[in-house]
Amino acid sequence: MRWLILSDTHLGAWTGDDLLSHPWACDLLRPELERADAAVLLGDFVDLLFARTERAFARAERFMELLAQTMAGKRLVWLAGNHDHHVLVRRLESLIELRVATGAPDEELVERWRAAFYFEAFLRRRLPETEIEIAYPRYRIGDTLLSHGHYLDGEVRGSVPNRLLQGGIRIVAGGREATPSIEDYEAALVPLTELLYVQAQLPKGAEAERRIQAELRRIARFAAAVAAPERELHRLGRSIVRRLRGLPDPQPPAADYMLARVVAPGSSVIASLHAYGRVCRNLGWDREARWFVFAHTHQPLDGVRVGDASRELRFWNTGSWIYEPPSGGARDYLRYLRHNWPGSVVVIDTDDGDGAPQLHELLAADRAAVRARLRGARRPDASGLRCYEDVRRLLGQSQDPAGRSAVQAPAPR
Taking only the tens place, the pLDDT of each residue in 197-242 is 887 887 765 566 566 556 555 544 444 444 445 555 555 565 555 5
Sheet with 144-146, edge to edge strand ranges: 139-141, 144-146, 291-294, 313-317, 301-306
Averaged pLDDT, 127-139: 97
Buried/exposed 256-271: b ≥16 CB within 10 Å, e otherwise: bbbbbbbbbbbbebeb
Amino acid at residue number 166: Q
Which pTM was predicted?
0.83
CATH architecture of the region 2-153+265-394: 4-Layer Sandwich (3.60)
Is the CB of residue 108 less than 8 Å from the CB of residue 53? no
- Read off the pLDDT of residues 59-106 as tens digits, 9 standing for 90 and up: 999 999 999 999 999 999 999 999 999 999 988 888 888 899 999 998
392 versus 194: the higher-pLDDT residue is: 392
Exposure of 378 by Cβ count < 10 A (0-12 exposed, 13-18 middle, 19+ buried)?
exposed
Is the CB of residue 81 less than 8 Å from the CB of residue 148? yes
Residues constituting the chain = 413
At 249, is the pLDDT very low, low, confident or very high (cuts 50, 70, 90)? very low
Mean pLDDT taken over the chain? 83
Is the CB of residue 269 less than 8 Å from the CB of residue 299? yes
Neighbours of 137 (CB within 10 A): 20
Is the CB of residue 3 less than 8 Å from the CB of residue 37? yes
Q: What are phi and psi of 80, to 5 degrees?
A: -80, 145
Is the CB of residue 349 less than 8 Å from the CB of residue 2? yes
- The distance in angstroms from the start CA to the end CA of the chain is 32
Q: Which of 342, 164, 322 is nearest to 255 (CA)?
A: 322
| Residue 327 confidence (pLDDT) | 82
* Sign of the four-CA dihedral 96, 97, 98, 99: positive
Provide CATH 3.60.21.10 ranges for the chain: 2-153+265-394
- Read off the pLDDT of residues 306-346 as tens digits, 9 standing for 90 and up: 865 556 799 999 999 999 998 888 899 999 999 999 999 99
